[in-house]
């Protein structure tokens, strides 16, 4: 009986190997041969799934982003069960994008490597733009929900508030990427928390 190959699982294995190589050695050290060796595949197998380095990077970045979004979704579900304020979910969700611990620093290094390649690859640039739009859309939804429950003032522009929080998070992530010490991480989290609290100053009527 022919062996059944889980192609998606193999693509994920390759992506995880690419992320580890980027984290430990940087994007320049990522080659098809090194990736194949890391995952225990032949070079031909890796090229079957990802003909180019940029395609490996695109899939790896999409996987990293999806894992972050999955964690954010879990935060939202927990917040509903525990009746937490929306601002708490926003703070924790945005903190997932900050390189404040080894797991998040690894994800950030993939993001930085991906961002650098978007300059010369329109397909990667489109993917990066779509990720940004998705994050801002989620933030805008949080702001609108905050208006409905009383956490956010009614005259708040949800689009501008979402843009401000997204840009702040991206800027902090870049800063921490070059200065990844505990003091800087704490300061970044404190600033993020303060700005979210400024956008969500009220109490949620839903749980009263």
Predicted pLDDT of residue 5 = 63
Same domain assignment for residues 34 and 59: no
pLDDT digit of tens for each residue in the chain (208 aa)? 455 568 899 999 999 999 999 999 998 889 999 999 999 999 999 999 999 989 999 999 999 999 999 999 998 888 888 888 999 999 999 999 999 999 999 999 999 999 999 999 999 999 999 999 999 999 999 999 999 999 999 999 999 999 999 999 999 999 998 777 889 999 999 999 999 999 999 998 876 6
C-alpha 5, offset from chain centre: 29
CATH value at residue 16? 1.10.10.60
DSSP letter for each residue of the chain: -PPP--HHHHHHHHHHHHHHHHHHH-GGG--HHHHHHHHT--HHHHHHH-SSHHHHHHHHHHHHHHHHHHHHHHHHHHHHHHT--HHHHHHHHHHTTS--SHHHHHHHHHHHHHHHHTTT-HHHHHHHHHHHHHHHHHHHHHHHHHHHHTSS-TT--HHHHHHHHHHHHHHHHHHHHH---HHHHHHHHHHHHHHHHHHS-S--GGG-
Structural domain boundaries enclosing 43: 1-51
Query: d(Cα 153, Cα 143) in Å, to the nearest integer?
Result: 9
- Which residues touch 56 (CB under 8 Å, ≥6 apart)? 14, 15, 18, 30, 32, 35, 46, 50
Same domain assignment for residues 24 and 117: no
CATH value at residue 166? 1.10.357.10
Give the phi and the psi of residue 5 in degrees, each rounded to 5.
Answer: -105, 125
Same domain assignment for residues 20 and 72: no
Question: Considering its fold, how many domains does the chain have in total?
Answer: 2
Same domain assignment for residues 12 and 74: no
Structure tokens at 35: 């990736």
Query: d(Cα 184, Cα 181) in Å, to the nearest integer?
Result: 6
């Amino acid at each position: 009986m022919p062996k059944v190959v889980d192609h998606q699982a193999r693509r994920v294995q390759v992506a995880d190997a690419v992320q580890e190589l980027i984290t430990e050695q940087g994007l320049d050290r990522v080659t098809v041969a090194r990736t194949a060796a890391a995952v225990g595949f032949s070079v031909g197998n890796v090229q079957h799934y990802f003909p180019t380095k940029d395609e490996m990077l695109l899939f790896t970045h999409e996987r990293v982003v999806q894992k972050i979004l999955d964690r954010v979704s879990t935060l939202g579900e927990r917040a509903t069960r525990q009746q937490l304020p929306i601002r708490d979910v926003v703070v924790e969700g945005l903190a997932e994008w900050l390189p404040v611990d080894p797991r998040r620093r690894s994800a950030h290094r993939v993001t930085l490597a991906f961002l650098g390649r978007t300059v010369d690859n329109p397909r990667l640039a489109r993917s990066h733009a779509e990720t940004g739009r998705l994050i801002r859309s989620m933030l805008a939804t949080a702001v609108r929900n905050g208006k409905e429950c009383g956490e956010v003032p009614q005259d708040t522009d949800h689009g501008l508030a979402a843009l401000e929080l997204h840009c702040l998070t991206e800027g902090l992530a870049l800063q921490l990427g070059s200065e990844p010490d505990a003091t800087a991480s704490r300061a970044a989290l404190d600033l993020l928390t303060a700005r979210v609290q400024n956008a969500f100053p009220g109490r949620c009527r839903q749980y009263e």
